[in-house]
Amino acid sequence: MCGIVGYIGYEQAAPLLLSSLEKLEYRGYDSAGVCLNDGENLVVKKAKGQLKVLKELTNDGKTLKGTVGIGHTRWATHGEPSDVNAHPHLSDSERFAVVHNGIIENYIQLKEHLSAKGVAFRSKTDTEVIAQLIEYYYKGNLVDTVIKVLSKLEGSYALGVISKDNPDEIIAVRKESPLIIGLGENENYIASDVTAILAKTRKIYRLENNEIAIIKRDGVKVVDTDKEEIAKEVEIVNWDISAAEKGGYEHFMFKEIMEQPKAIRDTVAPRIKDGRVVLDEIKLTDEQLKGFNKINILACGSAYHVGVVAKYVFEKVLRKPVEVDLASEFRYRDPIIDDKTLTVVISQSGETADTKEAMKEAQRRGSHVISIVNVVGSAIATESDDVIYTWAGPEIAVATTKAYSTQLAVIYLMAIYFGDKLGTISGEDYQMYISELEQLPEKITKILENKENIQYLASQNFNSRDVFFIGRNIDYALSLEGSLKLKEISYIHSEAYAAGELKHGTISLIEQGTLVIALATHEALLGKIISNIEEVQTRGANVIGVACENHPEISNVTQSTIFLPQTCDMLLPSLAVIPLQLFAYYVASLKGCDIDKPRNLAKSVTVE
């Protein structure tokens, strides 16, 4: 959600800023802009719509001069998408410019105070308040002024600030919203995501809360709000740059679907040694684990759907009760949670605002938190008690695929590891789970090799108006993700239902030609899901089944069936999600949708 970039060096900044902003398009945005210090003034160019509009307006940045600048892609929270509301925002006299990710919760009071002092506002955003406050309090020292302004702000923010009076520096600040500093030779960068600057440098600082970076061409100094210098450790980003590029694929989403065997292998293989699951990265003791009487899972979106799968897996393997909460609701229901509760937090970015705040609430109540995160050094990763990284690599498409799959893989590892510690898993089952887990990448590859069959099914159904996903037990958990994938990138109305609930109202929505995707991988409930399929068939539904290859009889009650390699019940979601991802992708492609950047959505939701 929103993207910040900044550059100071000896090259012309505008082309670099625009190129970096392109790398952040996946985060979701509705407008974009840049501001350059041309040596005399701050020059701003911004435009509603896609980045290409801004590039055309500036001839790919060639019409803008200056070697210091900031840029931004905006996802509207305050004020409708427009040229005026786009970032960067200037102060009244145009001496200061600001880009901002996050939300200023008390901006109305601040705006009213400044307006009473005669300050004229141009936009309807909360961000402009920051630029106006900087000018209002400025006494000649920009760092002192920024610190003063921070004391007035309530909310979350990552800020990039430049000044007409300070042409040789950028000020960067972080509180609750991610921001990194890129370190180069006689040039330095700021960005909200490492992908923005990966082509320029692999050396970064990760700013922590309430840290302020003073960035010049020849160095970076980081201080706290008392101006005490903070020693920062340089992090070397070891991603292959091709991982953040399409590499010949038409869309990032398709590339990331195809990368799932490798991503799962990278997540699982280093954690299985001599036939045993080893989770050396967590500090949780056996005594602590045995003392927990409940597990609570907190997540949003697709990560929440991983949590629903985890509920079935953990309860079956660990024999402990599990609650799964939408993180956005958790804090507001006065949850019953204490030091006898293990909390598992799931987030791809590690910066998801609702999830982060829910985690803090669990910690305040004494719960031990293990996070499952993809981005190293992110807020959730650093603030949780333990973290298990998924090692999926950069995921650019807004609709998650490989992050979801690697999160599932970590859930399996945790179930096997904890089950062994608790004595709730037999030696025979332990070895069977390990064997099946190691074979997952190969079995997923087999499904991907038959992707043309799924493409054909998409071509027969991409004009569907409504689609319903049904399943029982762990298949229901998976149907939630299948439905979300389809609706978020194809804009087709789609819902997921527990198949046993059909007769309790849902079946009234089935009419002639309605597409129903029936997940029938859970062998113990195969007979029941077949009955549910027959129920919708008799009411005119067109049914696509998803089942294991050892149950060909499912074809007797479906119009089409996608067959999966066999594996144990616990791991079936990792196989069954692949055709659902491919189906959603092909449907969206046939409809001509913007697959990597679906409308109104953002990759990293860093505000509530």
Which residues are the active-site residues? 2, 603
Q: pLDDT tens for residues 99-126?
A: 998 888 898 899 999 999 999 999 989 9
Residue 489: the pLDDT is 95
Residue 55: the pLDDT is 92
Residue 602: the pLDDT is 60
Residue 468 pLDDT more than 90? yes
User: Looking at residue 229, what DSSP letter applies?
Assistant: B
Q: Are residues 198 and 219 in the same domain?
A: yes
Q: Are residues 232 and 281 in the same domain?
A: no
Where residue 509 sits, what CATH number does that domain have?
3.40.50.10490
Is residue 606 a part of any domain in this protein? Answer: no
Q: Are residues 21 and 147 in the same domain?
A: yes
Q: Are residues 249 and 205 in the same domain?
A: no
Residue 384: the pLDDT is 95
The rounded mean pLDDT for the chain is: 91
- Tell me the average pLDDT across 78-106: 90
Residue 26 pLDDT more than 80? no
For 34-64, the DSSP string reads: EEEE-SSSEEEEEEES-HHHHHHHTTTTTT-
Instruction: Round to whole Å and give the CA distance between 590 and 97.
Output: 43
Instruction: Round to whole Å and give the CA distance between 333 and 589.
Output: 40
Q: pLDDT tens for residues 204-215?
A: 999 998 999 999
Q: Are residues 463 and 363 in the same domain?
A: no
Q: Are residues 369 and 425 in the same domain?
A: yes
Q: Are residues 327 and 437 in the same domain?
A: yes
Where residue 93 sits, what CATH number does that domain have?
3.60.20.10
Is residue 352 a part of any domain in this protein? Answer: yes
Q: Are residues 246 and 233 in the same domain?
A: no
Q: Are residues 145 and 192 in the same domain?
A: yes
Q: pLDDT tens for residues 551-608?
A: 999 999 999 999 999 999 999 999 999 999 999 999 999 999 999 888 877 655 655 5
Residue 504: the pLDDT is 81
The edge-to-edge listing of strands for the beta sheet with 368-373 is 322-326, 294-299, 341-347, 368-373, 386-389
Is residue 601 a part of any domain in this protein? Answer: no
End-to-end CA distance of the chain: 11
Residue 607: the pLDDT is 52
Residue 230: the pLDDT is 96
Is residue 105 a part of any domain in this protein? Answer: yes
- Tell me the average pLDDT across 69-77: 86
Look up the domain containing 495 and give its range.
450-592
Q: Are residues 153 and 279 in the same domain?
A: no
What domain count does the chain have? 3
Rounded to two decimals, what is the model's pTM? 0.73
Instruction: Round to whole Å and give the CA distance between 555 and 488.
Output: 29
Q: Are residues 309 and 229 in the same domain?
A: no
Q: pLDDT tens for residues 135-178?
A: 999 999 999 999 999 999 988 889 999 999 888 999 999 987 88
Is residue 608 a part of any domain in this protein? Answer: no
Question: Which of residues 201, 217, 238 is at a domain's end?
Answer: 238
Q: pLDDT tens for residues 383-396?
A: 999 999 998 877 88
Residue 240: the pLDDT is 64
Question: Which of residues 238, 260, 289 is at a domain's end?
Answer: 238
Q: What is the biggest distance separating any 2 CA atoms in the chain, rounded to whole angstroms?
A: 79
CA distances from 579 to 251, 508, 519, 523 (A): 17, 27, 11, 19
Candidate from 164-178, 243-257, 284-298, 540-554 with smallest mean pLDDT: 243-257
- Give the list of residues 6+ apart from residue 451 with CB closer than 8 angstroms, or none: 582
Q: Are residues 173 and 47 in the same domain?
A: yes
Is residue 599 a part of any domain in this protein? Answer: no
Is residue 417 a part of any domain in this protein? Answer: yes
Is residue 605 a part of any domain in this protein? Answer: no
Residue with tokens 């091709």: 242
Question: Which of residues 191, 208, 238 is at a domain's end?
Answer: 238
Q: pLDDT tens for residues 409-452?
A: 999 999 999 999 999 999 999 999 999 999 999 999 999 999 99
Residue 460: the pLDDT is 92
Residue 352 pLDDT more than 60? yes
- Give the list of residues 6+ apart from residue 18 with CB closer than 8 angstroms, or none: 34, 51, 54, 55, 58, 60, 61, 71
Cβ contact 354:328 at 8 Å: yes
